[in-house]
Every structure is written in structure tokens, then in C-alpha cells.
Structure 1
């Protein structure tokens, strides 16, 4: 999970840099800043093993947002998120094990997490400096007042889907290896419908760009 947290911070920084870059920029819509990244966490894992046929999907979405930093009301339908992950796993050819007592029999354990981050930055104008620093010329007194500081917030969010090696679930007190993960990140702005649709598209894209997951 530490690796995913670092990755999310990196994607957040990219989003901030894009928005703070010089204008004009080609992006016109919030969705233009969305990105999806997938990776095989365990390169030696045999994804093409025909014996891998089943999965167990955890019934709760893990909310990683720090309540002291950002409101935990994510404004995204978490039930739809789980349903879309389930749909993609089924379409990839896997059979879901729904009984939690049989979870250790599943080939994959599927975990879903969401995160949101508030990124604040300050801008100011006025004060000493600039062309206002040339006092005595008749036009230099314009800027000798306290600067005006404004604070803005760029809110970003991410959806994380992980596949864990279910065959090692029975090994108590042992780390269960993550073999694959996908991260969708972007600006957390727009209506609830817009946020939901973009989140669901990110989940679909994770599986599109990971064809080796198909049975």
C-alpha cells in the first residue's frame, strides 16, 4: 500500500503541474487531465496460467482519504465502483466466489481503494517590487501597499484496483503478494454524475490496457 500511496502522490503532483503551467493549454475539460496506469507488481507471476479462474471481490471500498486533510464524502457511488470491477472481472473470463468463507479458495483477491487530496497553493500581487519599485517617477507609488494573497485548491482523486495472489491467503501472518494493480487519477471536480462516469471509465481502461488478464 505504501507503493500505491507514493504513486498517487506522484500523479497528484503531475496534475498540479499541468494546471499551474503557462497558458494557453490544449486541455479544455476536466476529464482531459484523467490518466490510467497499470503495472504487473510481480513480474514473474504467470498471468497466463489456465488454472487461474476465480476471484473474490472484497465487498467494501477502502477509503484512503485522511479525514484531517479532506472531507471523506467522496461524492462517488462506491457500489457502482464495485459493480464495474465485478463486470470487468467477469468479462475477462473469471468466476466470482461470493461466499467469504470460501475466499481462500479464490485465485485472486480483488481490493478496491479510493483517495482524494486537497492541494493548496498561494498566489499574490502588489507589495514591494516589480515596476512599482521605481519610486520618485510619479508612477512608482502604486504598489507600496500590503500584497493581496489568494489561496486556491486543486482537488485530485484516484481509484485503485489491486489483484492479490489468493492462493497465499491461508498463510497467516504473511504478506499476501500483490501481482497487479491499476490506478486512475484526475481532477476531482464536476457533478456527481461526471465524477462517477469518469471513475467507471478509468476502471474499464485498466482492463483494456491489461489484455494479459483475460482468460
Structure 2
């Protein structure tokens, strides 16, 4: 299936449309109720990564005029699910991000949004309250080592793994070595929404076997 066909499929499902220029995606890993898509830097040796840092909150991408984080019990349940998957894959969580090899940042799209990125996507500069690169250190923006295109609607979860061991110099951009977009999460049932999100997190790791050490 080519990129154009995948976009039609994603929009038909009213879910995330996420296309990587690395490789045409397989639809065998797409859940019937929601869409999970993952991509990674093929040059990263994930087996060499040992520790990770995971914040205790999820950034909200909405229409608020200030930075907003999701920290209630549901948010912590999602964060714990991500941590459990990382731990099961062989990584060790640390509370000190200066000691972590990678960091994981989670974002939740609360309003309907659409962004497009290219080799070095800068969609976050058009949204003023995305994760600031300064949260992780002295970085000048973000960098994907692969080409990506984004499109997603309300009720989407973004997970991104950043390489904290990359050389940190002036004007260097922090590389994101793995990411996943989970869309189509919203229903009229809040408990079902949470379960679909957890299932989406699990599916993201299932279809990313290279993360397992």
C-alpha cells in the first residue's frame, strides 16, 4: 500500500494519518477501532540504550493560551503503562534525566489539529506550547533522522523518544529516534477511551520489536 492509499484509509477511519518516507507501512498492525503507527531511526542501536527518563505528566495540545499538562489519575495510568512497557523491554527508569540515555515525552491532542512535516519537520514551532527542547538540555529545536508526515485529529496520543546521549553543542537539534501516533481514541465512554489508549500503547510496543533489548 502506498502513502497516498494510507492517507485515504486513515482519514476514512477519522483517525491519525501518519506516513513515514522510510518505508511503505503495513496495515497488518492497524487495530480495527483505532490507528497505531510507529517509526524509528534505523541507525540507532536500541540494544545499547540502558536508562530512560519519563516525565510524570502528559502535555496537552489544545487551544489554551498557556502550557497545560495532564496529571490526573488517568494520565498517570497511561504513563505507568508506558513505563511498564519500557521496563519489560529491558530498560531502567531513572528519576534523574541527566543520567538517562533517552527521554520519553507524551502529548495528547485535545483539539482537532493537522500538521505536516518534512525531512526536518518544524510543526511544533507553529504551536507555541509543544515540548520545549530546553526541557532536555541546551538544544536548538528538534530533529527526526527520518522523513515524516503528520496528520491527526482530536483524541490522539503522541509518544516520542529523544536521544539524550547525542552531542550537545550550539545550534544542535535533539534527535527523536522513535515515535508513535495513536489516533481514534475518543468515544462517549471515558473508561473505554482510557482502555483504548492503554491498548494503543501496548500495540505501539508490539509493532516496535527493535525496542526490546
User: Smaller-chain TM-score range?
Assistant: 0.5 to 0.7
Q: In the alignment, does 2:81 pair up with 1:87?
A: no
Equivalent of 2:101 in 102, 107, 120: 107
Structure 1: distance between partners of 2:13 and 2:72: 20
TM-score normalised by the chain length of structure 2: 0.61
Q: Retained in 2: the 8 A contact 1:55–1:108?
A: yes
Instruction: Provide TM-score, normalisation by structure 1.
Output: 0.60
Q: Give the number of equivalent residue pairs.
A: 150
Q: How does 1:40-189 map to 2 (within 5 A)?
A: 40=40, 42-48=41-47, 51-67=48-64, 77-99=74-96, 103-118=97-112, 156-168=154-166, 170-171=168-169, 174-189=172-187
Could you list the structure 1 runs, at least 4 aligned residues long, displaced by more than 2 angstroms after superposition.
Answer: 9-17, 72-76, 116-119, 168-174
- Cα pair 2:60 2:70 within 8 Å, conserved: no
Q: Which runs of 5+ in 1 are unaligned?
A: 1-8, 18-30, 120-154
CA contact (8 A) 1:112 1:159 kept: yes
Contact map agreement 1:162 1:178 (CA 8 A) in 2: yes
The root-mean-square deviation of aligned C-alpha atoms, in Å, is 3.2
CA distance in 1, matches of 2:60, 2:184: 16
In structure 2, the CA distance between the partners of 1:168 and 1:62, relative to structure 1 (3 Å rule), is: same
Q: Displacement of 1:73 after TM fit?
A: 8.8
Comparing both structures, which one devotes a greater share of its residues to helix? 1
Larger Rg: 1
